[in-house]
Amino acid sequence: MSTTTIDIGTLIVHSSDIREGRPRITGTGVTVQRVVGWYKLGLSPEEIAEELGHLTLAQVHAALAYYHANREEIESAIATDAAEAKRLARKHRNTGT
């Protein structure tokens, strides 16, 4: 039986040209922030991996570990996105379109 060891430091990447440089799971467009959103909705890591069928449980755990190690960074991004969503919603309501 052959085993492959994966360096967990390789599971999360930042690329300025993909997802605006947000941390994401290597080889995917899935950001740490997206995984955290599902986690905050109450989904377990196993449920997240199942929902996003192309991710392994190890990738989901890596995203959550990144979040817990860099909580301020991710929470700031979440707050920025929420503020932008509110701004756009107000703009949309005010223009009537």
pLDDT of residue 97 exceeding 60: no
**Which DSSP string do the residues of 42-94 spell out, in sequence order?**
T--HHHHHHHTTTS-HHHHHHHHHHHHHTHHHHHHHHHHHHHHHHHHHHHHHH
CA distance 2 to 19: 35
Kindly list the domain boundaries of the chain, sorted by start residue: 70-97
pLDDT in tens, 22-55: 999 999 999 999 999 999 999 999 999 999 989 9
DSSP state of 36: H
Q: Beta-carbon neighbour count of residue 58 at 10 Å?
A: 14
Highest mean pLDDT (candidates 8-12, 37-41, 82-86, 87-91)? 37-41
| pTM of model > 0.85 | no
